[in-house]
Structure formats: structure tokens, C-alpha cells
Structure 1
Amino acid sequence: MSASSFQVAARTIIAIGGGYLASSSAMAIFCLLLVSAGLARADAVTLGILLVFVLYLCLLIWSFAVSALWRPITVFSLLIVSDYGLAFFIGHGR
């Protein structure tokens, strides 16, 4: 496996897996914030899904556009940890 094919394989795995985990953690935050803003739960979930779909596509494109491989790994890790941590603390009282 050459270096360029390794880069493509690594970026594909990072984009699909990391983008999915980062966008699903953002989904939890979007829904919690929209419900706390007064939106009905069904409407909050629908709007959250629409926003997360756009976010996931942007993360996929960005992970292939960035020059360094460590940037998507770092950003996805920070998004995942911060969003799930924030969702735990916000949603813990409900």
C-alpha cells in the first residue's frame, strides 16, 4: 500500500466515522437546545436532523480538502468530546 493510497483510506475512514460521530453528537446538542428554546420535541428533532445533514456533508468535504491529516482527527475528537459532554450536563437534569 503506497503512501497516497494510505492517505486516501485514512481520510475516508476519518471522514465517514469521525464525521458521523461528530454530527451525531451535534444532533444531541441541537435537539436539547431547540427543545429548551421552546420548540416542540418533534419539530426540534426534525430541524436537528436537517441541520446535522448539512453539518455532516460539510465535515466530509472539509476532511478531504484540508492538507494535514491530523486536523480532521483533532477537530472531530474535540467536537465529539465537547458535544457529548455538554449533552450529558444539559440533559442530565431532565
Structure 2
Amino acid sequence: MTDSDDPFAGIPDDLTADLDRAQQVLSIRVERRTYNKPVTVIEGFDPEAVDMKALGTEIKRAMGAGGTVDGGTIEVQGDHEERVRDLLVERGFEIA
């Protein structure tokens, strides 16, 4: 890709990261797993545009819960749909 093909050419990196986040539309849902325990699942990330491991750690710490990051999905133990939604919107992500 040349600079003329890059829609973000000439834009500072910190603003480009914000644009990358804003272009992603995430979905959040709560699933019931083993023993009917809830798990909050966040999908729709572009793993190349977001540091998934760091974001997963930040979300888990904010929720005070465990979880995992796998590919383009973050899973957090417990039903944290509203709190996760608020945190991600605050970080500049769009939620479907």
C-alpha cells in the first residue's frame, strides 16, 4: 500500500489509533456456561488495530474479574455487560 492508498496518510499515530477504534463495531453479550455461570463476551475487534492483551487486562481489572483473550474476542467472567459497554464507549469504541 502506498501513501496515496492509505486513508490515514499524514495523520498523527495517536489520532489514527482513535480512528481505528471508532471504525470497529463491537458486540457485547452474556452467555451462560458450565454450572449456569455468566460470561461477558466482547467481539468484533480488529486484532491488528487494538492491543487485545492490554485491553483485556484493563477490562478484567476494572471489572474485578478473571477472563481470557482469544483472537478477536475478550471474555470476562460474570455478567458485566453494562459496565463493559460504558468502559469501551469511554475508550472510543462503537458498540452495536
Relative to the length of structure 2, the TM-score reads 0.30
* Higher helix content, 1 or 2: 1
* Higher strand content, 1 or 2: 2
Relative to the length of structure 1, the TM-score reads 0.31
